[in-house]
């Protein structure tokens, strides 16, 4: 059997390192055999995700939560959506990891090791809402191209890192700086090393905010591999693609960053609204910045049946990109009347806010509970699908769950 090749010593060393114990008789392993500890094609186990998460795509890995899985105040890894443009890096050595800051608008290029970043700058921890720009895409008509996200490409985890601003102050930037772009080590789907899966960024006004972090921890532990280990940019409230994973470089640019997925139609919407299905020239597409106001009922799970006379407690989260949510309401009569929910202030800026309400139903029947958040500028979630756009971004239509009173 020609397939029965034996694995090389270097591969064995890597496997041993990964497992943490010596593999006895390791050099007699057939090449195609993988020790049980490494044998795991199941993405739910691979990334430690809950089995109720929904797998949209296995190459690249894309997975989302269902509304009821996002009930925690701080999203744990097992319920955090995965959005990848390229392939997850295959070998990472955090001990040798470094970040190089370069570009037209730095005074002098500088490289920090990960250890230096951690020791030289003060650490900050914030709860930050990260939502995929295409969350809700599946509802657009005509359908928009790409992963057909439902409601679950959103999370609010606790991120710990150093402020991007502190690092840029240390290195010194020129007055003409307008944007940063990130550079990461993930591989393009075509496996062409000269192609970049994604290299996005943000304008200086966002970069210099207190909450914009170079993060190395999520929920008090090293960031999970699939979420950007060992170093990730985290810019809450903006499309999560701004929060680049597996960072090895930052360019400080004297113009809007022009990396992969910054140009063309990627993460852009028509500068002026268009009719559903209308063609839009690239020059008429504008970069998405803050995400819009939105909310999610995370309890109960849709489909609950209760008995007539029972009260129903609902709860969930609301967020509004750069803004705060000022008001939270629900309707049980298809939007005809609205009642106010109790709404908490955010733990910190850019964290999602928690709401709850107790509902009394007037009689038996089929109901939908609709949730509607209003931001601090008075803008509310629409009940129908908002303005159509070619790539299906920014669907913040009110969420609906179905209830039967019997």
Interface with other proteins includes 402 (CB under 8 A)? yes
Structural contact between residues 231 and 215, judged by C-beta atoms closer than 8 angstroms: yes
Nearer to other proteins by C-beta: 169 or 222?
A: 222
Cα–Cα distance for residue pair 129/160, rounded to 1 Å? 14
For strand 285-287 and strand 247-253, is the pairing parallel, antiparallel, or unpaired? unpaired
Name which of residues 320 to 349 contact other proteins (CB under 8 A): none
Which residues contact residue 114 at a Cβ distance below 8 angstroms, ignoring those fewer than 6 apart? 94, 95, 97, 98, 99, 216, 230, 231
Interface with other proteins includes 359 (CB under 8 A)? no
Structural contact between residues 391 and 265, judged by C-beta atoms closer than 8 angstroms: yes
**Burial group, residue 278, by CB count within 10 angstroms (0-12, 13-18, 19+):** exposed
Handedness of CA 76, 80, 85, 88 (dihedral sign): positive
Taking residue 101's Cβ as centre, other Cβ atoms within 10 Å add up to: 22
Interface with other proteins includes 92 (CB under 8 A)? yes
Interface with other proteins includes 378 (CB under 8 A)? no
Output the smallest distance, CB 81 to other proteins, in A. 15
Output the smallest distance, CB 192 to other proteins, in A. 5
Output the smallest distance, CB 90 to other proteins, in A. 4
Nearer to other proteins by C-beta: 70 or 369?
A: 369
In the structure encoding, which two tokens stand for residue 398, read together? 């009110």
Helix (H, G, I), strand (E, B) or coil at 218: strand
List 111, 119, 190, 358, residue binding other proteins (CB under 8 A):
190
Over its C-alpha atoms, the chain yields an Rg (Å, rounded) of 23
Phi, psi angle pair for 18, to nearest 5°: -70, -40
Nearer to other proteins by C-beta: 148 or 243?
A: 148
- Name the helix (H) or strand (E) containing 319: strand 311-319
Interface with other proteins includes 305 (CB under 8 A)? yes
List 104, 109, 176, 222, residue binding other proteins (CB under 8 A):
222
List 14, 107, 256, 271, residue binding other proteins (CB under 8 A):
14
List 9, 33, 52, 309, residue binding other proteins (CB under 8 A):
33
List 74, 178, 306, 380, residue binding other proteins (CB under 8 A):
306
List 52, 58, 109, 258, residue binding other proteins (CB under 8 A):
58
Q: Which stretch binds other proteins (CB under 8 A): 120-128, 235-243, 283-291, 383-391?
A: 383-391
What is the dihedral angle through the alpha carbons of 368, 276, 133, 168, rounded to the nearest 10 degrees? -140
Interface with other proteins includes 116 (CB under 8 A)? no
Interface with other proteins includes 192 (CB under 8 A)? yes
């Amino acid at each position: 059997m020609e397939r029965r090749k034996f694995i090389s010593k270097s591969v064995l060393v890597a496997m041993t390192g990964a497992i943490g114990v010596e593999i006895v008789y390791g050099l007699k392993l057939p090449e195609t055999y993988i020790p049980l500890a490494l044998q795991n094609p199941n993405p739910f186990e691979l990334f430690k995700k809950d089995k109720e998460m929904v797998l949209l795509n296995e190459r690249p890995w894309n997975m989302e939560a269902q509304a009821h899985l996002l009930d925690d105040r701080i999203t744990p890894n097992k319920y955090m959506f995965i959005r990848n443009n390229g392939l997850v890096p295959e070998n990472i050595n955090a001990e040798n990891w470094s970040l190089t800051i370069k570009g037209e608008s730095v005074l002098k290029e500088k490289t920090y090791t990960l250890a230096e970043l951690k020791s030289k700058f003060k650490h900050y921890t914030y709860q930050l809402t990260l939502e995929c720009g295409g969350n809700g895409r599946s509802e657009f008509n005509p359908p928009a191209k790409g992963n057909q996200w439902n409601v679950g490409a959103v999370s609010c985890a606790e991120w710990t890192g150093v402020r991007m601003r502190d690092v840029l102050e240390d290195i010194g930037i020129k007055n003409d700086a307008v944007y940063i772009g990130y550079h990461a080590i993930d591989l393009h789907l075509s496996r062409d090393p000269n192609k970049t899966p994604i290299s996005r960024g943000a304008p200086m006004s966002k970069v210099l905010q207190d909450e914009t972090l170079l993060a190395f921890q999520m929920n008090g532990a090293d960031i999970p591999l699939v979420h950007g280990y060992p170093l990730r940019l985290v810019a809450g409230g903006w499309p999560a693609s701004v929060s680049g994973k597996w960072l090895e470089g930052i360019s400080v640019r004297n113009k809007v960053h022009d990396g992969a997925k910054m140009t063309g139609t990627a993460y852009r919407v028509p500068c002026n609204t268009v009719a559903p299905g209308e063609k839009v020239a690239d020059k008429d597409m504008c970069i998405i910045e803050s995400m819009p106001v939105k909310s999610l009922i995370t309890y109960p799970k849709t489909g609950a049946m209760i008995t007539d006379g029972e009260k129903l407690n609902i709860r969930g989260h609301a967020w509004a990109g750069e803004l705060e949510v000022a008001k939270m309401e629900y309707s049980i009569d298809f939007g005809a009347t609205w009642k106010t929910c109790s709404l908490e202030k955010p733990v910190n800026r850019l964290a999602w806010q928690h709401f709850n309400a107790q509902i009394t139903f007037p009689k038996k029947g089929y109901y939908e509970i609709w949730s509607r958040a209003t931001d601090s500028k008075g803008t509310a979630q629409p009940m129908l699908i908002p303005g159509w756009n070619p790539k299906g971004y920014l669907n913040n239509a009110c969420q609906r769950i179905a209830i039967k009173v019997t």
